[in-house]
């Protein structure tokens, strides 16, 4: 087993619910020790894929291999995973200790060994001394830690997390997300987490699998997903993105109304309609020289105060119809005294602009 | 466990079906699902099938097509019974549903004081055999009754008595439906209507009634079915007024004319089946009526309304309590109406009937066995159907059979049991007349409500529990015992008590089935009344009622203890 | 703790239901009977004392029900004996070949009328009962009805809807009264009388004693019923007279027999022997004034002194032979009219 054989390999996996195709031709490999997030809007098939991997809702077609073993049609109990759900799914009538020991007792281990393991796991998730309490006596975050300990108790090869943080409030969510990530690194357990929260995925995952309408849109490291979205969907779903209708002016240029911009590359022939995508935080307004490439004069429209930053609507003077969303830090707002109605210079760096084909085909919506 | 799983189909799409490869656990689960289906077939489907087939056979068992139905339609006495049944059922429904609506309105939409007392009073008839109300009426309105004059010379024995007694008996059933219907109301609708200055009458017509419409329809069918299939009341108080239920008894027990009994049974099945389907469609629409954002309506005190509904509800409640009080009082009277001194002699059942107190103890045994066996079987049946996603065809089949008894009146099921368990070819015939058959019949008779209770309780459990157990490689039977059953204990207890109380009070189903050593208290009441020992019959009824109420009170106490001390994990 | 105890108790009771049957060591003899409910206990005790290896299992219902049930089960009889059933029913069974031939020891000592007169010997009479009039004087006074000396007095308009009698198809007492009227008045006059009586009938009841009980309680004014019940109700303090109309009353005999093909024939024969003993007859006489064994006499208080004299000349054979025909005719005349009555 020294070969770089993946922990999980999925090939040609499809699943339908009646006429509805939930998953289509999924291909995916996950390496040992990797933390992978399935990210997508609700109904995109991410949970369905997770449940197929678990064997809880078997796929119609396709192969699932776990550590080189074909488990495509094995029932859940014959696979090797631990699972944590959004609802915690702690057995309310069992104590914390009994919940964690639930899978261990079944394996006929001696009582003392089970006790030792339970203590160890409780310490691991930061809940020592709580084993005699019942789930209702714990907070949501504590319950989810217990669920995590229970899933890890049998040392499974694969840890599946189905939106584990979604039911928690924001502060607990962020703390627990760091803890889970730390724990996963320490134990080296291969982990798949389903989430609809892009921030969570970006912060936790080694790799993100972005899904939409039952297909994988893109697989990549968080930065890759954020900076080089492969499709307009990914671009739009991960982070904030302004889309503008534009016309290609050659291999490295586009035009929006009267505004010409340089871009890294466009596959579209000159004159073809394209879509230009840019992130609000990449719109600069400091230290710009008029006349340089990708620097233009624009008018500041409506401003929305969002705490740490302000979101502004900017209309290029040369292309009054186009609305660009731009984020400015509180610092910038104060230093530059940006206000509605102002006209000033804005800049877009070539590397941050993405060009996508125009919405000719029926848009993915 | 499975280190070397065969990896034969590397190439090409895996032609796996919807299910996972069968593990031992899955095979056991699927086998249990099919076993459940088989048992339900034996206790529900087979007897009903026998009823259907008997109706197209001659007395000798030869196939005669619809000849029995033709005989029925051309026999004036039989047709008269059908018309009589329709008449009393319609009249009782017309009386009960509006009264129950007023009562439910008082409970749910007004600020009448003492709602707990009103509720308890209205539910009283549930704890007594149906014929106890009829026995009480003999003392009130009979030819020697102290309120005889209130009938203006009409005879109690016949439609008048049947309708009054059935109205009392069916009242709580209608009330339960209507209180539920009136409980579901969106307070915002009322606030919006009031904000627009709508009159109360118009609000009632445009908001209240449409909201309760489905409950009303449901109540109409339920009351109609209860009345038309009840046997005890017409038997005691019907006099010469023949109805379908007494006809079925006369045909089967009196004349041993099984085919004609089957025909009558099928006629009784019609309104019940109709009610079943109406109820189902009504239920599905009632759900859509209330949006998730609805805010429950809370009544605010209003003098005129509270006074009017309070008076109406207390009068109705008092009449119910008074009726059953009369029955209990009568059971202590020495010789009505000539010697009103009190005595315990009527409770010395042995001096009126050789079986003495034994029917009461038979009833206790039967009810306890039905409660224990019924609760266990129904719960695990519901678990197999609800929680195991195995054998989809078997599950659908079992689910269908589990819902079937709702549409089958006890009398009809009892007839089916006679035909099925009394058939000479049936090896299960050795149980005929034993308490075992009565237990099985009772469990089958009340299966659906128990099944729905269990299914609802199971549905409220996080569906991921099973997934977690599977991931931890805990087989479903261990999981059910360690987690699911303890969580559902209150529901299991509910089912047990429901079975117990109904087993104690049912007459219709078991009147055909009891044997010499398995005579039940409810049947003893029929016999005592038949022999003219009406005070003793009332005494037996009073004992049954007291037992049922005691069990219910014990249930409430245990439930409290269960939620409190024994299952501390339920408390935060 | 308590809960657990209760649960195990309940479970135990549940199991006991199924386990109980296996424990019996005595021979069970299933006896179909139409005896009154209150007779069954003492009868069982007496039989089991006389025949220690027997355990009596009663299946009790009214005469009509037991007769119909016995005939319906003729291919697969569940009864080992019949006892306390109308002799006319037993004659019917004898004719259908359903009864075992056996003459109990001591049968020869019985009054001749109580013995099976025709070979083969299958049934033995136990006692005789009469269909009499229970007349509630208190209620009659209110209604202005006069006490009936003759059957025809029952037709007086003051008694409209105030008379109850047993249903002849289900009650032996009911049939003996109908058969008695037809035999003593002649068929035509008998039916004419019943046509008139029907106008005054409030209900045809399921039992032979209930009509008198209802009359005794004042619920009805007149109950046509079993002789003995009238006497006992009067003794309990009911304001009733037990009247034997001057034309005489119909009567019927209760008898017992062994069912052909029973598996417990030996024990059944011992029980049949018991039925002719003095003990048995003394038991019969607690409920019936006229019993099979000469010399056993019990004249209960308030029993009409002219009863035995008032018995009509009754042909049990005629009653058996004409049972079907008479009941059909009765049903045709009165059941179709009975229903719409108020």
Q: Is residue B227 within 8 angstroms of chain A, CB to CB?
A: no
Average pLDDT over residues C13-21: 43
Query: Structural domain of residue B144, as residue ranges?
Result: 63-330
Chain C segment 192-211 residues within 8 A of B by beta carbon are 201-207, 209-211
Q: How confident is the model at residue A242 (pLDDT cuts 50, 70, 90)?
A: very high
Nearest to A85 among B21, B464, B470 (CB): B464
Q: What is the DSSP string of C224-236?
A: EEEHHHHHHHHHT
Q: What is the CATH number of domain C26-128+253-291?
A: 3.40.190.10
More confident residue, C11 or B398: B398
Residue B515 has pLDDT above 80, yes or no: no
- The full DSSP string for A110-133 is -HHHHHHHHHHHHHHTT-TT-TTS
Task: Please report whether residue B130 resides in a domain.
Answer: yes
Neighbours of A308 (CB within 10 A): 8
- In this prediction, residue C337 has a pLDDT band, given cuts at 50, 70 and 90, of very low
Contact B372 C59 (CB under 8 A): no
Q: State the Rg of chain B over Cα.
A: 26
Chain-chain contact of B26 with A75 (C-beta, under 8 angstroms): yes
pLDDT exceeds cutoff 50 at B62: yes
Q: How many CB atoms lie within 10 A of CB C324?
A: 10
Provide, as residue numbers in chain C, all residues whose Cβ is less than 8 Å from the Cβ of B516. 30, 57-60
The minimum CA-CA distance between C8 and chain B, rounded to whole Å, is 10
- Under the banding of pLDDT at 50, 70 and 90, the label for residue C331 is confident
Ranking B301-310, B563-572, C9-18, C135-144 by mean pLDDT, the lowest is C9-18
**Contact across the interface for B240 and C338, Cβ inside 8 Å:** yes
Query: A102, B469: Cβ pair inside 8 Å?
Result: yes
Kindly list the residues from chain A whose CB atom is less than 8 angstroms away from the CB atom of residue B572: 136-137
Mean pLDDT lowest for which of A217-226, A297-306, C297-306? C297-306
Q: Which helix (H) or strand (E) holds A347?
A: strand A343-348
Under an 8 A CB cutoff, do A136 and B571 touch? yes
C-beta atoms of B467 and A89 within 8 A: yes
Confirm or reject contact between B469 and chain A (CB < 8 A). Answer: yes
Q: In terms of Cα–Cα distance, which of A84, A292, C127 is closest to B462?
A: A84
CB contact under 8 A, B256 and C161: no
Contact between C249 and C78 under an 8 Å Cβ cutoff? The reply is no
Q: Which residue has the tokens 């056996």?
A: C102
List of chain B residues whose C-beta atoms are within 8 Å of the C-beta of residue A78: 1-2, 5, 23
Contact C300, C289 (CB under 8 A): yes
CB contact under 8 A, B25 and A137: no
Residues of B in contact with A89 (CB under 8 A): 462, 464-465, 467-468
CB contact under 8 A, C17 and B369: yes
Q: At what angle do helices B410-421 and B46-55 cross, to 10 degrees?
A: 90
Q: Which of A66, A64, A74 is nearest to B10 (CA)?
A: A64
With a pLDDT cut of 70, the percent of chain B lying above it is 93
Kind and range of the H or E run holding A81: strand A81-85
- Determine which of B16-30, C51-65, C70-84, C151-165 has the lowest per-residue pLDDT on average: B16-30
Query: pLDDT, tens digit, for every residue of A34-48?
Result: 999 999 999 999 999
Q: Is A28 exposed, middle or buried (0-12, 13-18, 19+ CB in 10 A)?
A: buried
DSSP state of C149: S
Question: pLDDT class for B289, splitting at 50, 70, 90?
Answer: low
How many CA atoms lie less than 13 Å away from B439 in the CB half-sphere? 25
Is B214 within the bounds of a domain? yes
Which chain C residue lies closest to B352 (C-alpha atoms)? C38
Q: What is the enclosing helix (H) or strand (E) of C257?
A: strand C251-258
Q: Say what the pLDDT of residue B290 is.
A: 53
Whether A85 sits inside 8 A of B23 (CB atoms) is: no
pLDDT, one tens digit per residue, over A132-146 is 999 999 999 999 999
% of residues, chain A, pLDDT over 90: 76
**Which residues does C259 contact at the CB level (< 8 Å), separation at least 6?**
C77, C79, C80, C81, C82, C98, C99, C100, C268
Q: Do A136 and B569 touch (CB under 8 A)?
A: yes
Measured between CA atoms, how close is A51 to chain B, in angstroms? 9
Residue B299 in tokens:
């009544």
Q: For B5, which of A51, A59, A71 is closest by C-beta distance?
A: A71
For residue range C141-182, list pLDDT tens digits in order.
Answer: 988 999 999 999 999 999 998 999 999 988 889 999 999 999
C-alpha–C-alpha distance, residues A222 and C240, integer Å = 104
* Angle formed at CA C260 by CA C258 and CA C264, multiple of 5 degrees: 65
Please state the rounded mean pLDDT for residues A339-351: 92
Nearest chain C CA: its distance from B266 CA (Å): 21
Instruction: List pLDDT tens digits, range B227-284.
Output: 998 999 999 998 888 899 988 888 887 777 888 889 999 998 888 888 788 877 776 7
- For A111, the token pair is 């009582």
Which residues partner with C81 through β-bridges?
A: C31, C258
**What is residue B57's DSSP assignment?**
B
Task: Say if B565 is an interface residue toward chain A (CB within 8 Å).
Answer: no
DSSP labels for B431-465?
GTTSHHHHHHHHHHHTHHHHHHHHHHHHHTS-THH
CB-based contact B531 C37, cutoff 8 Å: yes
Q: Is B388 on the interface with A (CB under 8 A)?
A: no
Q: Could you tell me which residue, B288 or C11, shows the higher pLDDT? A: B288
Chains that touch A (3 or more CB pairs under 8 A): B
- Band of the pLDDT at C307, cuts 50, 70, 90? confident
| pLDDT band at residue B293 under the 50/70/90 scheme | low
Instruction: Name the pLDDT band for A192 (thresholds 50, 70, 90).
Output: very high
**In chain B, whose CA is at the least distance from the CA of C41?**
B354
Domain assignment of residue B173, yes or no: yes
Per-residue pLDDT at B329: 94
CB contact under 8 A, B7 and A70: yes
Q: pLDDT-based confidence at B566, cuts 50/70/90?
A: low
Those residues whose C-beta lies under 8 Å from the C-beta of residue B483, and which sit 6 or more positions away, are: A91, A93, A94, B465, B469
d(CA A313, CA C35): 102
- What is the DSSP pairing of strand C81-86 with strand C251-258? antiparallel
- Asked if the Cβ–Cβ distance from A106 to B568 is below 8 Å, we say no
Complete DSSP assignment for C278-306? HHHHHHHHHH-SEESSTT-----TT--TT
Q: How confident is the model at residue C9 (pLDDT cuts 50, 70, 90)?
A: very low
Q: Cβ B80–C339 below 8 Å, yes or no? A: yes
Neighbouring CB atoms inside 10 A of B111's CB total 16
* Closest to C130 (Cα-Cα) out of C56, C54, C57, C209: C209
Q: Rounded to the nearest 5°, which phi and psi values hold at A326?
A: -135, 140
Domain boundaries, chain C: 26-128+253-291, 129-251+303-337
Q: Searching chain A, which residue's CA lies closest to the CA of residue B22?
A: A75
**Mean pLDDT (chain A, rounded):** 91
Nearest-angstrom CA–CA distance, C227 and B436: 40
Sign of CA dihedral B468, B470, B472, B477: positive
pLDDT of residue B243: 92
Question: Is there a contact between C84 and C34 (Cβ–Cβ < 8 Å)?
Answer: yes
Q: Tell me: the pLDDT tens digits for B301-342?
A: 889 899 999 999 999 999 999 999 999 999 999 888 888 899
Can you tell me the distance from the alpha carbon of A348 to that of B569, in angstroms, rounded to the nearest whole number? 60
Q: Is C208 helix (H, G, I), strand (E, B) or coil?
A: coil
Query: In this predicted structure, what is the pLDDT of residue B437?
Result: 93
> Is B47 a domain residue?
no
Residue B78 CA to its chain's centroid (Å): 27
Q: Which of B77, B92, B236, B96 is nearest to B156 (CA)?
A: B236
- Token output for B494: 């509910």
- Tell me which chain A residues have a C-beta less than 8 angstroms from the C-beta of B483: 91, 93-94
Which residues from B are below 8 Å from C207, CB to CB? Answer: 530-532
**Which of C 281-340 lie inside 8 A of B, CB atoms?**
331, 335-336, 338-340
Query: How far is C-alpha A6 from the geometric centre of its chain's CA atoms?
Result: 21
Close Cβ partners of B8 (under 8 Å, ≥ 6 residues apart): none
* Set of chain B residues whose Cβ sits within 8 Å of the Cβ of A93: 483, 486-487, 567, 569
Contact with chain B for residue C253, Cβ under 8 A = no
Return the exposure string of B128-145: e unless at least 16 CB atoms fall within 10 Å of the residue's CB, then b.
bbbbbbbbbbbbbbbbbb
Chains that touch B (3 or more CB pairs under 8 A): A, C
Specify the CATH number for the domain of residue B217: 1.10.3720.10
d(CA A148, CA A89): 11
Q: What is the interface size between B and C, counted as CB pairs within 8 Å?
A: 154
Of B18 and B402, the one with more pLDDT: B402
B135, B534 contact by CB (below 8 A): yes
Give the pLDDT confidence score for residue B16 in this predicted structure: 37
Please name the member of B241, B335, B566 whose beta carbon is closest to the beta carbon of C237.
B335
In a domain, B113, yes or no: yes
pLDDT at B11 over 60: no
How close is the nearest chain B Cα to the Cα of A103, in Å? 5
Structure token pair of residue B417: 């049991």
Residues ≥6 apart with Cβ < 8 Å to C173: C63, C129, C131, C166, C208, C209, C225, C226, C252
Q: Which residue has the tokens 């599950």?
A: B395
**Residue with tokens 């409950």, as numbered in its chain:** B215
Residue among C57, C54, C58 at smallest CA distance from C25 = C54
Instruction: For residue A136, give every residue at least 6 positions away whose Cβ sits within 8 Å of its Cβ, in sequence order, or none.
Output: A92, B569, B570, B571, B572
Work out the minimum CA distance from C112 to partner chain B, whole angstroms: 31
Locate the chain B residue with the closest alpha carbon to C11: B372
Mutate to test the interface with B, among C3, C7, C17 (most CBs of B within 10 A): C17
- pLDDT the model gives residue B7: 34
Neighbours of C115 (CB within 10 A): 18
Q: Hey, do C26-128+253-291 and C129-251+303-337 end up sharing a CATH topology, with the first three levels equal?
A: yes
Q: From CA B535, how far away is CA B532, in angstroms rounded?
A: 9
- The pLDDT confidence band at residue B38, using thresholds 50, 70 and 90, is very high
Architecture of the domain spanning C129-251+303-337 = 3-Layer(aba) Sandwich (3.40)
Query: What value does the mean pLDDT of chain C take?
Result: 86
Number of domains chain B contains: 1
C143 to chain B, any CB pair closer than 8 A? The answer is: no
Contact between B527 and C37 using a beta-carbon 8 Å cutoff: yes
Per-chain mean pLDDT for chain B: 87
Q: How confident is the model at residue B381 (pLDDT cuts 50, 70, 90)?
A: very high
* Rounded CA separation A40/A42 (Å): 7
Q: Is the pLDDT of residue C316 over 60?
A: yes
Spell out which residues of chain B touch residue C24, defining contact as CB-CB under 8 Å: none
């Amino acid at each position: 087993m020294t070969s770089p054989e993946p922990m999980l390999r999925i090939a040609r996996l499809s699943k339908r619910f009646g006429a509805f195709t939930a998953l289509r031709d999924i291909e995916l490999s996950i390496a040992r020790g990797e933390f992978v997030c399935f990210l997508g809007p609700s109904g995109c098939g991410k949970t369905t894929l997770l449940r197929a991997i678990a064997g809880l809702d078997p796929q119609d077609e396709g192969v699932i291999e776990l550590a080189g073993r074909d488990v495509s049609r094995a029932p859940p109990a014959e696979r090797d995973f631990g699972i944590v759900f959004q609802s915690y799914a702690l057995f309310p009538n069992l104590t914390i200790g009994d919940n964690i020991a639930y899978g261990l007792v079944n394996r006929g281990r001696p009582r003392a060994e089970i006790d030792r393991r339970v203590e160890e796991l409780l310490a691991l998730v930061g809940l020592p001394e709580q084993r005699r309490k019942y789930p209702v006596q714990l907070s949501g975050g504590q319950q989810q830690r217990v669920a995590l300990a229970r899933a890890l108790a049998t040392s499974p090869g694969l840890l599946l997390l189905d939106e584990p943080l979604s039911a928690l409030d924001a502060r607990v969510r962020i703390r627990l997300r760091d803890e889970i990530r730390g724990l996963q690194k320490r134990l080296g357990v291969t982990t798949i987490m389903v989430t609809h929260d892009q921030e969570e995925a970006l912060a936790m995952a080694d790799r993100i699998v972005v899904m939409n309408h039952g297909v994988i849109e893109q697989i990549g490291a968080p930065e890759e997903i954020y900076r080089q979205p492969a499709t307009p969907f990914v671009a739009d779903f991960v982070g904030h993105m302004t889309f503008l209708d534009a016309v290609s002016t050659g291999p490295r240029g586009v035009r929006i109304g009267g505004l010409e911009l340089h871009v890294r590359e466009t596959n579209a022939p000159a004159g073809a309609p394209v879509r230009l995508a840019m992130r609000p935080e990449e719109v600069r307004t400091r230290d710009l020289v008029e006349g340089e490439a990708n620097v233009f004069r624009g008018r500041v429209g409506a401003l929305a105060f969002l705490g740490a930053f302000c979101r502004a609507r900017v209309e290029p003077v040369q292309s009054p119809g186009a609305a660009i969303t731009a984020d400015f830090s509180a610092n910038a707002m104060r230093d530059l005294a940006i206000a509605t109605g102002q006209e000033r210079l804005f800049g877009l760096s070539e590397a941050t602009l993405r060009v996508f084909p125009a919405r000719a085909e029926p848009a993915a919506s | 466990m499975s280190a070397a799983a065969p990896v034969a189909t590397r190439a090409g799409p895996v032609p796996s079906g919807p299910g996972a490869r069968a593990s031992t656990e899955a095979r056991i689960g699927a086998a249990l699902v099919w076993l459940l289906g088989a048992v339900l077939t034996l206790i529900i489907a087979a007897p009903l099938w026998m009823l259907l087939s008997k109706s197209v056979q001659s007395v000798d068992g030869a196939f005669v097509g619809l000849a029995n139905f033709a005989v029925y339609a051309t026999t004036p006495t039989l047709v008269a019974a059908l018309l009589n049944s329709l008449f009393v059922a319609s009249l009782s429904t017309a009386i009960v549903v509006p009264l129950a609506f007023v009562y439910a309105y008082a409970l749910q939409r007004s600020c009448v004081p003492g709602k707990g007392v009103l509720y308890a009073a209205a539910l009283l008839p549930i704890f007594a055999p149906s014929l106890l109300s009829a026995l009480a009426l003999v003392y009130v309105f009979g030819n020697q009754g102290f309120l005889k004059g209130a009938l203006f010379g009409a005879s109690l024995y016949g439609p008048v008595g049947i309708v009054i007694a059935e109205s009392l008996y069916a009242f709580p059933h209608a009330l339960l439906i209507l209180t539920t219907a009136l409980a579901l109301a969106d307070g915002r609708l009322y606030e919006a209507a009031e904000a627009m200055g709508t009159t109360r009458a118009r609000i009632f017509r445009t908001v209240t009634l449409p909201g309760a419409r489905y409950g009303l329809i449901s109540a109409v069918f339920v009351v109609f079915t209860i009345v038309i299939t009840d046997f005890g009341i017409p038997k005691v108080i019907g006099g010469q007024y023949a109805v379908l239920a007494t006809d079925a008894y006369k045909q089967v027990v009196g004349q041993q004319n099984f085919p004609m009994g089957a025909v009558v049974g099928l006629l009784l099945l019609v309104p019940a089946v109709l009610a079943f389907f109406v109820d189902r469609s009504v239920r599905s629409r009632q759900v859509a009526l209330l949006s998730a954002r609805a805010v429950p309506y809370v009544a605010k005190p209003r003098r005129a309304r509270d006074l009017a509904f309070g008076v109406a509800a207390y009068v109705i409640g008092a009449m119910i309590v008074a009726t059953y009080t009369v029955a209990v009082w009568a059971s202590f009277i020495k010789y009505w109406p000539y010697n009103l001194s009190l005595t315990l002699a009527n409770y010395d059942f042995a001096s009126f009937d050789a079986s003495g107190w034994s029917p009461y103890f038979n009833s206790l045994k039967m009810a306890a066995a039905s409660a224990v066996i019924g609760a266990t079987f129904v719960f695990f049946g519901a678990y197999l159907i609800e929680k195991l996603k195995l054998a989809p065809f078997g599950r659908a089949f079992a689910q269908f059979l589990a819902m079937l008894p709702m549409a089958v009146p006890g009398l009809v099921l009892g007839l089916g049991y006679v035909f099925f368990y009394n058939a000479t070819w049936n090896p299960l015939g050795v149980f005929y007349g034993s308490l075992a058959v009565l237990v099985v019949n009772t469990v089958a008779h009340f299966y659906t409500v128990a099944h729905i209770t269990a299914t609802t309780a199971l549905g409220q459990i996080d569906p991921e529990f099973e997934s977690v157990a599977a991931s931890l490689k805990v087989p479903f039977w261990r999981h059910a015992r360690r987690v699911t059953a303890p969580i559902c204990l209150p529901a299991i207890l509910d089912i047990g008590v429901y079975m117990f109380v109904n087993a104690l009070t049912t007459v219709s189903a078991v009147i055909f089935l009891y044997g010499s050593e398995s005579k039940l208290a409810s049947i003893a009441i029929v016999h005592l009344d038949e022999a003219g020992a009406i005070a003793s019959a009332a005494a037996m009824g009073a004992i049954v009622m007291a037992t049922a109420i005691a069990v219910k009170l014990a249930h409430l106490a245990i439930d409290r203890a269960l939620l409190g001390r024994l299952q501390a994990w339920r408390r935060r | 703790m308590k809960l657990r105890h209760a649960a195990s108790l309940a479970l135990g009771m549940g199991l006991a239901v199924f386990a109980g049957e296996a424990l019996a060591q005595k021979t069970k003899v299933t006896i179909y009977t139409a005896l009154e409910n209150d007779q069954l206990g003492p009868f069982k005790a007496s039989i089991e004392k006389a025949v220690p290896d027997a355990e009596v299992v009663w299946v009790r219902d009214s005469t009509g029900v037991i007769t119909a049930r016995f005939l319906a089960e003729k291919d697969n009889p569940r009864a080992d004996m019949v006892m306390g059933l109308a002799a006319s029913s037993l004659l019917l069974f004898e004719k259908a070949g359903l009864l075992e031939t056996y003459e109990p020891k001591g049968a020869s000592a019985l009054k001749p009328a109580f013995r099976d007169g025709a070979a083969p010997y299958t049934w033995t009479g136990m006692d005789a009962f009469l269909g009499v009039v229970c007349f509630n004087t208190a209620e009659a006074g209110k209604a202005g009805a006069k006490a009936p000396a003759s059957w025809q007095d029952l037709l007086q308009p003051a008694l409209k809807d105030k008379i109850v009698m047993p249903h002849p198809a289900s009650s032996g007492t009911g049939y003996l009264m109908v058969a008695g009227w037809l035999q003593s008045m002649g068929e035509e006059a008998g039916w004419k009388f019943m046509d008139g009586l029907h106008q005054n009938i409030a209900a045809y009841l399921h039992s032979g004693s209930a009509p008198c009980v209802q009359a005794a309680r004042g619920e009805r004014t007149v109950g046509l019923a079993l002789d003995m019940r009238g006497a006992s109700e009067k003794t309990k303090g009911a304001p009733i007279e037990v009247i034997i109309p001057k034309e005489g009353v119909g009567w019927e005999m209760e008898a017992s027999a062994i069912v052909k093909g029973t598996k417990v024939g030996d024990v059944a024969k011992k029980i049949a022997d018991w039925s002719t003993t003095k003990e048995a007859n003394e038991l019969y006489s607690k409920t019936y004034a006229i019993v099979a064994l000469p010399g056993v006499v019990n004249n209960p208080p308030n029993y009409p002194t002219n009863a035995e004299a008032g018995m009509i000349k009754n042909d049990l054979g005629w009653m058996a032979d004409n049972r079907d025909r008479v009941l059909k005719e009765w049903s045709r005349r009165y059941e179709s009219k009975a229903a719409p009555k108020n």
